[in-house]
């Protein structure tokens, strides 16, 4: 079999999460012959991951991928077919400020990386980080296909398009997979056998990142919306998860939910919600779900857990790089390798992605970053017409999308005095008195000031 060669530049190549998922997926794949260049400002982490990648290559089902840590962004990008951008905007200590400072003002956040005060300030420090990456892609790999994995997804995808309008970029998120897993489970229960995986489930996706919905569900030519409606009605009060939470597993405690927010939004808006409950809850006023998160069976994830988890992941990665343990060519739930294969002409592939609106979502301005399905083929990434959300949801999405667009514009156009006004209108911030909200904003800006341009720091604070 002829393997399709592909050169992948991985920006953030010292990643402890997404990089190893890509390694496992490439090891599972039999169609690509990948050369992966790992670039990270922490070069030692990229070198560690290159050693881990070599271990995954040893158990490949197809052509073993080749991994190399490179010292510069230019070295990574020159000649790349595909660029993956997966960086952490700052440190977890910065994210702790994004969550903990609002908490002292009475604002609860389950994640704090997309909307709300945490998502807003994360965007302030990450936009200046992403702009030069897009400019480097323009200068060294203008024809490469680019996948952004970094949050806040909508704002940063828009930032890269602003820096390089000709960029061939999509934003990748796996949250819709949660709904597809549920539908596969429903179908398997009906059949009395494990015939289907989430990959067999087709959905029409509408929304913005982490606030996504579907208005059509299909599997094997069947309309699965009636079955999903019955499922949501049955479990609306009790909730549902594919397995019981392990009380000894912190990841389960903080990341698993029972879909009760999804089911409630389906009841309220008449359309299934696709993203995880922790994300969905942050897009609406706090008193709807976040104030009573425990009653809705989801948790507010503390950054202290993320720090402990990172320490454990580093230890496991170091052990794997040193030759301990056994890597497995197990396919993850991520769609990136399938997307790459589609672009390389190895079979068309449809998945949900974040792209500028070119008409795929009705009622939102052109250029707004939206999340819908797109077709990956040798012709490129082609957005598919999704339609329009129900009016009540459309209004929520339009409000957040406009704020994200205006936030990006204010930063890149040096209109720092507009920032607080935008911050103030987020549904989680809006109930605060203006003076209190301003104090919180100034405190959050000061806490992340070491990442901000001097002009932003001076004017915004």
Mean pLDDT, the chain, whole residue set: 96
Q: Is the pLDDT of residue 406 over 50?
A: yes
pLDDT of the residue at 416:
87
Q: Is the pLDDT of residue 213 over 60?
A: yes
Mean per-residue pLDDT, 245-273: 94
Mean per-residue pLDDT, 14-43: 97
CA angle 158-127-76, nearest 5°?
85
pLDDT of the residue at 282:
98
pLDDT of the residue at 457:
58
**174 is annotated as an active-site residue:** yes
pLDDT of the residue at 219:
97
Q: Is the pLDDT of residue 51 over 50?
A: yes
pLDDT of the residue at 193:
86
Q: Is the pLDDT of residue 2 over 90?
A: no
The pTM assigned to this predicted structure is 0.96
Q: What is the pLDDT of residues 300-309, one digit of tens each?
A: 999 999 999 9
Which residues make beta-bridge pairs with 37?
9, 68
Q: What is the pLDDT of residues 19-31, one digit of tens each?
A: 999 999 999 999 9
Q: What is the DSSP letter of 333?
A: S
Active-site position among 140, 162, 174, 394: 174
Whole-angstrom distance between the N-terminal and C-terminal Cα of the chain? 60
pLDDT of the residue at 461:
47
What secondary structure does DSSP assign to 154-195, as a single string? HHHHHHHHHH-TT-EEEE---TTHHHHHHHHHHHHHHHTS--
Q: Is the pLDDT of residue 260 over 80?
A: yes
Mean per-residue pLDDT, 80-95: 95
Q: What is the DSSP letter of 418?
A: G
Q: What is the pLDDT of residues 151-184, one digit of tens each?
A: 999 999 999 999 999 999 999 999 999 999 999 9
Q: Is the pLDDT of residue 1 over 70?
A: no
Q: What is the pLDDT of residues 123-141, one digit of tens each?
A: 999 999 999 999 999 999 9
């Amino acid at each position: 079999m002829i393997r399709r060669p592909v050169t992948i530049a991985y920006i953030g190549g010292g990643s402890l999460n997404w990089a190893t998922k890509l390694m496992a997926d490439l090891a599972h794949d039999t169609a690509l012959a990948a050369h992966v260049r790992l670039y990270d400002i922490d070069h030692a982490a990229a070198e560690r991951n290159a050693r881990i990648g070599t271990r995954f290559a040893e158990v490949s089902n197809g052509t073993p991928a080749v991994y190399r840590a490179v010292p510069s962004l230019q070295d990574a990008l020159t000649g790349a077919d595909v660029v993956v951008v997966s960086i952490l905007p700052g440190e977890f200590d910065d994210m702790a400020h994004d969550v903990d400072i609002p908490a002292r003002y009475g604002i609860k956040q389950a994640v704090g990386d997309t909307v709300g005060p945490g998502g807003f300030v994360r965007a302030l420090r990450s936009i200046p980080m992403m702009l030069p990456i897009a400019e480097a892609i323009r200068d060294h790999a203008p024809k490469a296909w680019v996948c952004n994995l970094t949050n806040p997804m909508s704002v940063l995808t828009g930032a890269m398009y602003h820096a390089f309008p000709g960029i061939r970029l999509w934003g990748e998120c796996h949250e819709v997979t949660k709904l597809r897993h549920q539908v596969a489970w429903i179908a398997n229960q009906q059949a009395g056998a494990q015939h289907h995986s989430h990959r067999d489930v087709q959905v029409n996706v509408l929304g913005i990142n982490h606030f996504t919905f579907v208005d059509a569900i299909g599997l094997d030519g069947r309309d699965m919306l009636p079955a999903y409606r019955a499922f949501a009605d049955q479990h609306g009060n009790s909730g549902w998860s594919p397995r019981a939470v392990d009380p000894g597993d912190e990841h389960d405690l903080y990341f698993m939910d029972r879909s009760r927010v999804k089911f409630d939004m389906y009841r309220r808006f008449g359309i299934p919600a696709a993203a995880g409950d922790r994300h969905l809850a942050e897009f609406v006023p706090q008193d709807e779900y976040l104030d009573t998160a425990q009653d809705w069976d989801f948790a507010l994830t503390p950054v202290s857990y993320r720090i402990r988890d990172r320490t454990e992941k580093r230890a496991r990665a170091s052990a794997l790089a040193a030759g301990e343990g056994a890597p497995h060519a197990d396919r993850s739930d991520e769609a990136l390798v399938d997307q790459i294969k589609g672009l390389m002409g190895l079979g068309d592939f449809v998945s949900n992605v974040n792209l500028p609106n070119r008409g795929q979502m009705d009622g939102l301005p052109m250029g707004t970053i939206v999340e819908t399905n797109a077709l990956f083929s040798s012709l490129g990434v082609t957005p598919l017409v999704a339609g329009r959300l129900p009016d009540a949801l459309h209004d929520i999405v339009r409000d957040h999308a406009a704020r994200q667009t205006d936030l990006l514009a204010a930063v890149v156009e040096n209109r720092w005095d507009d920032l607080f006004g935008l911050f103030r209108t987020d549904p989680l911030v809006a109930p605060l008195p203006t003076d209190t909200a301003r104090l919180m904003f100034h405190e959050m800006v000061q806490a992340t000031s070491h990442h901000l341009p001097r002009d932003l720091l001076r004017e915004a604070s």
